[in-house]
Amino acid sequence: MNDLSRRGGERPLRVTVLGATGSIGLSTLDVVARHPQRYEVFALTGHSRVLDLHGLCLRHRPRYAVVGDARAAADLQGRLREDGLATQVLVGEEGLIEVAGHSDVDVVMAAIVGAAGLRPTLAAVNASKRVLLANKEALVMSGALFMQALRDSSATLLPIDSEHNAIFQCLPGDYSRGLSVVGVRRILLTASGGPFREMPLSELAGVSPAQACAHPNWSMGRKISVDSASMMNKGLELIEACWLFDARPEQVEVVIHPQSVIHSMVDYVDGSVLAQLGNPDMRTPIAHALAWPERVDSGVSPLDLLQIGRLDFQAPDDRRFPCLRLARAAAQAGGTAPAILNAANEIAVEAFLAERIRFTQIADMIEHVLESLPSASVGCLDDVFDADDRARRQARHWLERI
C-alpha cells in the first residue's frame, strides 16, 4: 500500500475527481476545499453538465478538465481561456484514463456513475494511485479482474460507499488474511429501505420517477436514488462487499434500518458486533478515505443520538424488493452474471426515469435478461464488456416488445 499520510512541510496531495459534477463529486470538492494544505485539485471531469464543470474549474483551478465530446471540450476550452485559466480540456474516455493514471496524481475519486466508470477507475488502479471507490458498478461488473489488478499494482483502494466504508472501519487492519481468520462471522449490510418501504404493494406499480428519487435520508444522483428505491442498490452493494472483503454472499446479511444512522456492522465469532454510526452525509466516508489512516474535519455535524432517540431494524421483504433476490442470485452465479445484472439494471432505470416502464417492471426486465443470457466465465475485460453489451441489447429488445 502506498503511504500517503501527511507529515509537516509536504506538498498537498493532487486529487483527480472523476464525476466531479455529480453528487459524490461535489461532496468531495467540499471536503478537499476545507483542507488546502493537504489537497489540491489536479483534474475534474464531467459529462453533460458542462456549465457546472466550468464553474468548478473557476473555483478549483485544475490542471485538466475532461468532458464527453469534442464540441463541448472546444467550448469549455474557449471559456477557460477567456477567464485566464491554463486548464487544459481533454475529451472522452481517453481523457478520463489520462487524468486517472497521470504520473502527477496521488488520489483519484472514482465517482462516475455506471459502467462508464470502469476503464478510468481501472486506469487509476493500474497506475497505483490511492483510489477512492464510489463507482460500485465498476466493481460489480468486473470484480475478479478488478481485485487482481489491485493485487498486481501498489494501489490503495478505499471504499466510499457508506456501508463499505463503515465495514472497512469495523474490520481489523489485517482483514485481508481472511474474514474467518480474523474472527468475522457475518457482515451486516444496513439499508434504509428507501421511499417505498411502507407503501402498500399494490401501489408500487404507479410510483413516479420523482417519488423514487425522493430518498428519505440521503441526497444522491438519480440513478442511485432509483436503485435505493428498488433495493438494487443493496444488491449491488452485496456484490461489492463480497469483492472488497473476500466474503461469500451468504456471509453478507441485509438488515433494513430506516434511520440510516448505523452505516453497517461486522459480527464477530465472540458475539461482538462493531458498528459505524454517523449522520447520513457522504462527506464522512469521503473525508475518511481521503485522510486515512488519519482523520480530518468533513464539515458534517456531530451525531445527536438523543435527538434520533431510537434505532429500528427489520428484515427486507422479497416481494417488495425482488431486485435484492436477483442480485443475490447473480452474486452466487458469479462469472458474467453480475455484469449482466448491472447492465440490465442501467437500461431499466433509464427507461423508468424516461417513464417508458413502470417501477415494478425494473425487476421484470432484469429477470428476463438474466434468464436469457446464462452466466459465462470471465477471463479478460473484453468478456465483461461483451456481457454488458449483450445484456443491454437484450434489455432494449425486451423494451421494444412490451
Residue numbers of the site for Mg ion (CB under 5 A)? 161-163
Binding test (CB under 6 A) with ligand NDP, winner from 4, 16, 23, 257: 23
Pairing of strands 252-256, 184-191: parallel
Q: Which three cell numbers stand for residue 367?
A: 429477470
Give the residue with the Cβ less far from ligand NDP, 4 or 232. Answer: 232
Q: Identify which of 275, 278, 295 has the alpha carbon closest to the alpha carbon of residue 287.
A: 295
Sheet holding 273-277, edge to edge: 252-256, 184-191, 262-268, 273-277
Phi and psi based region of residue 115 (left: phi greater than 0; alpha: psi -120 to 50; beta: remaining): alpha
Give phi and psi for 151, each to the nearest 5.
-65, -35
Check binding of 136 to ligand NDP (CB under 6 A). Answer: yes
Q: Closest separation between CB of residue 137 and ligand NDP, Å?
A: 5
- Locate cell 460507499: which residue? 161
Neighbours of 392 (CB within 10 A): 17
Partner in contact with 113, chosen from ligand NDP, Mg ion, none, beta carbon below 5 to 8 Å by kind: ligand NDP
Which residue is closest to ligand NDP by CB? Answer: 22
Q: Going along 173-270, which residue ranges are E strands?
A: 184-191, 252-256, 262-268
Binding test (CB under 6 A) with ligand NDP, winner from 29, 57, 108, 112: 112
Contacts of residues 5-11 at CB distance under 8 Å and 24 or more positions apart, as own/partner, are 5/293, 5/294, 6/38, 6/291, 6/294
Partner in contact with 60, chosen from Mg ion, ligand NDP, none, beta carbon below 5 to 8 Å by kind: none
Check binding of 56 to ligand NDP (CB under 6 A). Answer: no
Distance CA 227, CA 248 (A): 22
Give the residue with the Cβ less far from Mg ion, 231 or 369. Answer: 231
Partner in contact with 134, chosen from Mg ion, ligand NDP, none, beta carbon below 5 to 8 Å by kind: ligand NDP
User: Quick one: which segment of 44-52, 100-108, 309-317, 330-338 binds ligand NDP (CB under 6 A)?
Assistant: 44-52
Partner in contact with 137, chosen from Mg ion, ligand NDP, none, beta carbon below 5 to 8 Å by kind: ligand NDP
What mask, x for binding ligand NDP by CB under 6 A, covers residues 309 to 328? --------------------
Binding interface with ligand NDP (CB under 6 A): 19-25, 46-49, 68, 111-113, 116, 134-137, 161, 218, 220-221, 223-224, 282
